[in-house]
Amino acid sequence: MFLKAPGRQEFKDPPHILIIGAGSRGSAYARAAQTSTNAVIAAIAEPIEYKRAQFGKKFIWGSEGPKPEQQFPDWKQWVKFEETRRQRERAGEKVEKGVDAVFVCVLDEMHEEVVCGIAPLGLHICVEKPLSTSLQSCMNIYSSLKGEEQKRKTLTNGHINGEVNGKTKAKETVFGICHVLRYSPHNMMLRQLVLEKEVIGDVLSIEHVEPVGWWHFSHSYVRGNWRKESTTAPSLLTKSCHDIDFIMWMLCSPPPNSGTQPHLPSYLTSTGSRKFFRKERKPKGAGDATNCLSCPYEQDCDYSAKKIYLEKQLKFGNTGWPVKIVNPEIEECYKSFGIEAASEKLLGSLREDYSPKTPVKEVESRPWFGRCVFESDNDVCDDQCVTITWDDDPISNEDDGRPILKGRGAKTAQFHMVAFTDKICERRGRIYGTKGEIEYDSASIKVHDFSTGYTKVHHPHIAGGGHGGGDEGLARQFIMAVEAVDNQGMSAAEAQRKFLGCDLDEAFRSHAMVFAADEARKERKVVDWKQWWQDQVEQQFHQR
């Protein structure tokens, strides 16, 4: 069995797309959109001039130079431009074509402001994960998007991109969340085997591991932007909301076209902590050093920034991630002036450090990639486990009164996020069923049948791009949904289900599960999911 992604999608009237945020994820989705479809990356909103120019040259204007409608220093300036463009259009003036959809790829803590700010424009929106950094913020986004949806549904005069046009049907919009694990051929096959073909019968439990990678964790969650809960969010959200969503997709969401409601969890608990990346673990030989480039122990330290970024990356010609995250100008410097100049530029960035006199606000405002991993201000978990349990949830009764538990029987999910691994984000796990067992990694799926004793190995199609083809799959499916609504008359709800397999409600629920799990960790308790949902979600919405 080989599930292969659809070919490149060519649309007669390709959607025009705005990317907000020219970082690694914004670039990934722009690349994925252009690879998998003929959609037009029409504009970029990005405050850093160098990143904005590099993005535009690569994805929008090439060597010709930008037009005014193609680049903006921030999303608010684009909103002003778009509102003015619509006013001009309404006045009968010939105007530039507007965008149809937006990918929001700014820092996590900015998602609420951006999504709520652009929601009134009535455009299709796809948001990089996580949706936002707190439950309240996610609820605000949910309310904003649902509110705009309701406004459009109740209009009697019609509504296109926020403007009345005299038609009787309001334009509907598609929502996407970048839970890209859903869209890799590997995981699509895994879900098909488990839920549609039922190769191991009813699922009884699943063990799922995200091996973050020893130096990757130090890069992003000790030295990088996601190192502090107070400025971003817990690592379970910023790194592993993918994985909690994957588990909910496998065990909570019903199979396609089944017509049944989600099988909701009953209880969850979690344990985790910052086990290694703290001052108590600092090697004695490092002394009082706070930066790798001035540390006497640097040559013997596995987490030497010089080793990680220069000796293991740049010297082998890699100017992309993670090197360009340390300094976005490295790639151009390497091309123009060579390895020595690029190395000096990189080392200059790694030498940057802070002292006790540096204002906390300044320290927290940016990454410090040369900082000693044992002297950083990080506080997120580097090891965490989550256990989710489901009780029986029969959907009806047989004639003899027995409940039907097929697909809705009691089961357990155990998730482990661990930093200290060789593999980087190459998920692995086991699924145990009533008729067999599945073992999976990022390349293969092994299905063992109890009855025959036979083990069958599947090798799913390995798609290119990030997350095993998930980046490209998500971008393609979102754009197909956009095109279906705008040009084929399909309802947004139908497009969501047909192309994305996920809507705002499902995305919100999986995020809520992350917040509930981290509450369980912090308070060392077992969370009753139904009660938690009533208290933390339903009650809050009712008070609005």
Mean predicted confidence (pLDDT) in 465-470: 70
Distance CA 460, CA 449 (A): 19
Alpha carbon 330 to chain centroid, angstroms: 26
pLDDT beyond 90 at 464: no
State residue 458's pLDDT score.
95
Mean pLDDT, the chain, rounded, equals: 92
Which residue has 């020893």 as its token pair?
214
CA distance 407 to 198: 9
pLDDT exceeds 90 at position 532: yes
Region of residue 204 (left: phi > 0; alpha: psi -120 to 50; beta: else): alpha
Tell me the per-residue pLDDT of 265-302, one tens digit each, with 9 for 90 and over.
999 999 999 999 999 999 999 999 999 999 999 999 99
Domains within the chain, CATH numbers bracketed = 16-178+470-502 (3.40.50.720), 185-277+378-462 (3.30.360.10), 279-364 (no CATH)
Enter the tokens of residue 98: 């507007």
- pTM for the structure as a whole: 0.92
Q: What is the pLDDT of residue 103?
A: 98
Distance CA 403, CA 214 (A): 47
Question: So what's the pLDDT on residue 279?
Answer: 97
For 424, the token pair is: 């980087």
> What confidence tier does 153 reach under pLDDT thresholds 50, 70, 90?
low
DSSP string, 103-171: EE-S-GGGHHHHHHHHGGG--EEEEPSSS-SSHHHHHHHHHHHHHHHHHHHH-SS-BBTTB--S-SSBP
| Phi/psi at 112 (5° precision) | -60, -50
Calculated CA dihedral for residues 497, 501, 506, 512, nearest 10 degrees: -160
pLDDT tens digit string along 154-212? 543 333 344 434 443 467 999 999 999 999 999 999 999 999 999 999 999 999 999 99
210 dihedral zone (left: phi>0; alpha: psi -120 to 50; beta): beta
Provide the H-helix boundaries in 155-254: 185-191, 214-217, 235-238, 241-251
Q: Would you say 213 and 446 are in contact if contact means Cβ atoms under 8 Å apart? A: no
pLDDT in tens, 299-309: 999 999 999 99
> In sequence order, what are the residues at sequence separation of 6 or more whose Cβ sits closer than 8 angstroms to the Cβ of residue 215?
302, 303, 308
The amino acid that residue 261 corresponds to is: Q
Token pair recorded at residue 184: 């890799």
* Cα angle for residues 342, 345, 349 (degrees, 5° grid): 140
The whole-number pLDDT of residue 541 equals 81
- Tokens encoding 244: 């909690």
Q: Are 417 and 235 in contact (CB under 8 A)?
A: yes
**Distance (Å, whole) CA 290 – CA 297:** 11
At 68, phi and psi to the nearest 5? -55, -35
What CA–CA distance (Å, rounded) separates 438 from 431? Answer: 5
Question: Is the pLDDT assigned to residue 486 strictly greater than 50?
Answer: yes
pLDDT of residue 394: 79
pLDDT digits (tens, 9 = 90+) for 390-434: 999 877 666 566 777 888 899 999 999 999 999 999 999 999 999
Quick one: pLDDT at residue 397? 64
